[in-house]
Structure 1
Amino acid sequence: MTESLQSYIGGRWRDASGPEYTTEYPHDGSTVARLHAATAADVDEAVLAAEQARRQPAWAGLRHHERAGILYRVAQGIRERAEALAQLQRLDNGKPIKECRALVTSAAGTFQFFGAAAETWEDTVTPSRGDYLSLSVHEPLGVVGAITPWNSPIASEAQKLAPALAAGCAVVFKPAEITPRMAIELAKICQQAGVPDGIVSVLPGKGSVVGDALVKHPLIKRIAFTGGTTVGLGIQRLAAEKLMPTSLELGGKSPTIVMPDADLDHAVAGVLYGIFSSSGESCIAGSRAFVHVSLYDEFKRRLLDGVKRLRVGDPASEDTQMGPLVNLGHRASIERYVQLGRDEGGTVLCGGERPRGGFYDAGSYYLPTVFEGLPNSARMCQEEIFGPVLALLPWQDEADLIAQCNDNMFGLASGIWTRDFKNAWRIGRALQTGTVWVNTYKLFSISTPFSGVKMSGYGQEKGRLGILEYTSQKSFYIGLNEQPMPWALS
């Protein structure tokens, strides 16, 4: 059954002003939602309403613990609707239902964490160097824009919305055009939790229309973006014209390193999870596996055995490990990269094609794929594929290993498999990535900062100080001198 969705614009639920479009369930291509795309005029209406709403006592006058109470209620609202939200996310982008449940749980935890961070927020009395009291305080930036991707909507949106609300900002959301549902549902929960009208708006639509209008709007004081590097660079260029701060979580081509002393059971399981969970549609996917030559053949054998056991299927099934890709267009992009890998001289060890028969033919499915025989300089080892494609690369010399891992435009994440903590620490410090996992992969905590380096972006999400991204710092000097300033009396 196709559901009609509306946008949330300046505190009103209504159809946006642009053309009608539909979203599809990647499992079978069926239409699941119908809605209107937002326009630049809708963006202007939402931003103006947000600017007015954020100045009202109902929002600006709240103390930290009162804003925290609202965030706690949002967290509770997510938990109360957890299963329904997970099922809706499954329809939005085809993730397996177990993964959808984990993302919903994560979103609730994000709101709870930033509620606690807001409630316990402390500004600073700085050490005085004279006859005065000096303080450093932080104030909300104002109206901020959030642009989120299609691969993990509810978690990505919570990681932007919760700290912005905790800081006292108003937020205009632009979710991915093809996965608008979670942002819409979060707006409903925020409304029920007591977030004043106008403080949150959700405007689905094209990035070239809604995103550009949001970035360019003079009242938008910050953009938080997760998505592709090319789009991120465009946002940064526009933001520079306004001297507007941004946080950009962009692409990745993350290396995972298997050391000679690695526990192969752990390493194989971790590499499989790192690249093939989420069907590889993850910016942190461990898409380059550097395996020491002494155990390369054994690792490859175990890895391929593991790939054969992966359950690719209906995302509604509790047993499914890999669902479909997000749509047919994205699958075509993956197929072009696989062909490129072949053209560059790589050998496909498994996968490299669509599964056939039954529901596979209707959905945007693709088999987990492993390449070998490619140098790290190959395009397939340099460019983000954003799909279930792994390159195996043997290594022998540690200095060359580190050089190859770092020889990439991206620097989002990395993994190391070893029994030697000292080696892990040394190599981890040498890797040019924002996150290093040791004997694990793709684990996250909302209390630990997350960011990238190089072309993977910059700016911090998560962590207690994540609220600072949505504030401006202000200094106070309060004179304590008993006598007038001597300069004026000399």
Structure 2
Amino acid sequence: IVMDDADLNLAVEGILWGAFGTTGQRCTACSRVIVHKKVLKKFTSMLLKRTKDLRVGDGLNEKSEMGPLVNEAQRQKVLNYCKIGVDEGAKLLTGGSCLSGKGLSKGFFFEPTLFANVSPKMRIAQEEIFGPVLSIISCRSLDHAVQIVNDSKYGLSSAIYTRDVNRAFKAIETLDTGITYINSSTIGAEIQLPFGGTKGTGNGHREAGTAALDVFTEWKAVYVDYSGTLQKAQIED
């Protein structure tokens, strides 16, 4: 979520990393950005410019900002979703095609892709693409943005960019996801806090942190009596 009071430069860089940093091949990758209508035009222009400037190449090259997809099947899946987005009426701002050419022959490369005019019910906004495809959705308010986020069968990671601490804490309270970031993208939770999602992304448990002790172990209650006498109740001497 990008609110109208957000630091747009920070939001653009964070969302760019969250959406394309691992070519979208991450369970917490950013695939939807819900932007307040007051800053929608400016934010879209800023994000589009940076997306077009991304350096795609060998993932082992330090100068590369986005690497390849894992295999050809995944590349074709991403390509198919781009066609679905266009057919559903979304506006393709950049990308949407496979990449080839110098330095790109040994890998399954795809263009960083940005869609605008996306409605929350479109397939590209509801289904997991697992590729470098980002959809921009307009919202009227924080409540509207939260409604859009929560209208999904998934619930792993969410984020909000805002300078208003009240908005931030309202988002924390109302976003139905297992992880929420404030002024940071949807990826990067490497610190050992409980990790997991809600709805279709969850099973009621959390990995990592102290919560993992309950996930990967079982509780057993043990009573040991050292008195050598019959104890009818634990309070007896």
TM-score normalised by structure 1 residue count: 0.45
Partners of 2:75 and 2:98 within 8 A in 1: no
Unpaired runs of at least 5, structure 2: none
Displacement after TM superposition at 1:453 (Å)? 0.6
Alignment of 1:26-65 (within 5 A): none
Match of 2:109 in 1: 365
Q: How does 1:129-144 map to 2 (within 5 A)?
A: none
Residue 460 (structure 1) aligns with: 206
Partner of 2:219: 473
Residue 62 of structure 2 aligns to a residue whose secondary structure is coil
Contact conserved, 1:291 with 1:393, CA < 8 A, in 2? yes
Measure the CA separation in 1 of the matches of 2:94 and 2:165. 33
Aligned to 1:427: 171
State whether residues 4 and 38 of structure 2, in contact with CA within 8 Å, keep that contact through their aligned partners in structure 1. yes
1:399 matched residue in structure 2: 143
Structure 1 residue aligned with 2:77, among 326, 333, 339?
333
Deviations 1:180-227 (A, max 9, x none): xxxxxxxxxxxxxxxxxxxxxxxxxxxxxxxxxxxxxxxxxxxxxxxx
- Alignment partner of 2:192 out of 421, 444, 447: 447
Specify the SS of the correspondent of 1:359: coil
Q: Does the residue aligned with 2:221 lie in a helix, a strand or coil?
A: strand
CA contact (8 A) 1:447 1:463 kept: yes
How far off its partner does 1:385 sit?
0.2
Once the 2 structures are TM-superposed, how far is the Cα of residue 436 of structure 1 from its aligned partner?
A: 0.2
SS in 1 for 2:103: helix
Distance in 2, Cα, partners of 1:357 & 1:486: 82
1:340-360 CA-to-partner distances (Å, cap 9, x unmatched) read 001101110011112232232
Query: By how many angstroms is 1:398 displaced?
Result: 2.9
Q: Aligned equivalents of 2:232 and 2:102: distance in 1?
A: 88
Distance apart, 1:444 and its partner CA: 1.8
Alignment match, 1:158:
none
Are residues 436 and 297 of structure 1, via their aligned partners in 2, closer, same or farther at CA, if it must alter by over 3 Å? same
Per-residue deviation at 1:317? 1.3
The answer as to whether partners of 2:34 and 2:137 remain within 8 angstroms in 1 is yes
1:484 aligned residue: 230
- Given that 1:311 and 1:322 are in contact with CA atoms closer than 8 Å, whether structure 2 keeps it comes out as yes
Cα RMSD for the two superposed structures: 1.7
Answer yes or no: is 1:300 the counterpart of 2:44.
Answer: yes
State how far apart, in whole Å, the 2-side matches of 1:486 and 1:414 are.
54
Q: Residue 408 of structure 1: which of 128, 133, 152 is its match?
A: 152
Query: Alpha-carbon deviations, 1:227-281, whole Å to 9, x = none?
Result: xxxxxxxxxxxxxxxxxxxxxxxxxxxxxx0011100110111111111110011
From the superposition, tell whether residues 431 and 361 of structure 1 become closer, same or farther in structure 2 (CA, over 3 Å).
same
Counterpart Cα distance in 2 of 1:316 and 1:342: 33
Structure 1 residues without counterparts, runs of 5 or longer: 1-256
Alpha-carbon distance in structure 2 between the residues aligned to 1:462 and 1:351: 36
Task: Kindly provide the amino acid, as one letter, of the partner of residue 194 in structure 2.
Answer: P
Shift of 1:480: 6.6
* Cα separation, partners in 2 of 1:479 and 1:362, compared to 1, 3 Å: closer
Trace 1:76-91 onto structure 2 (pairs within 5 A). none
Q: What secondary structure sits across from 1:445 in the alignment?
A: coil
Deviation readout 1:82-140 (Å, 9 max, x if unpaired): xxxxxxxxxxxxxxxxxxxxxxxxxxxxxxxxxxxxxxxxxxxxxxxxxxxxxxxxxxx
Distance 2:232 2:112 in 1: 77
Q: Residues 100 and 109 of structure 2 are in contact (CA less than 8 Å); yes or no, is this contact kept in structure 1?
A: no
Instruction: Identify the structure with the greater helix proportion.
Output: 1
- Superposed, 1:190-339 pairs within 5 Å as 257-339=1-83
1:483 Cα deviation after fit: 6.0
The residue aligned with 2:119 is 375
| Contact persistence 1:371–1:391 (CA under 8 A) | yes
TM-aligned CA deviation for residue 315 of structure 1: 1.9
Counterpart CA distance in 1 for 2:202 and 2:137 is 26
Shift of 1:455: 0.4
Shift of 1:471: 1.5
Equivalences for 1:1-20 in 2 at 5 Å?
Answer: none
Equivalent residues of 1:286, 1:415 under 8 A apart: no
Give the drift of 1:481. Answer: 6.6
- How far residue 465 of structure 1 moved from its aligned partner, in angstroms, is 3.8
The one-letter code sitting in structure 1 at the alignment partner of 2:129 is I
TM-score where L is the length of structure 2: 0.92
Map residues 91-102 of structure 1 onto 2, 5 A cutoff.
none
Q: Deviations over 1:43-85 (max 9, x none)?
A: xxxxxxxxxxxxxxxxxxxxxxxxxxxxxxxxxxxxxxxxxxx
What secondary structure, in the 3-state scheme, does the structure 2 residue paired with 1:337 have?
helix
3-state DSSP class of the match of 2:51? helix
**Larger strand fraction of residues:** 1
**Structure 1 contact 416–428 (Cα < 8 Å) conserved:** no
| Count of residues in Structure 1 that have an aligned counterpart in Structure 2 | 231
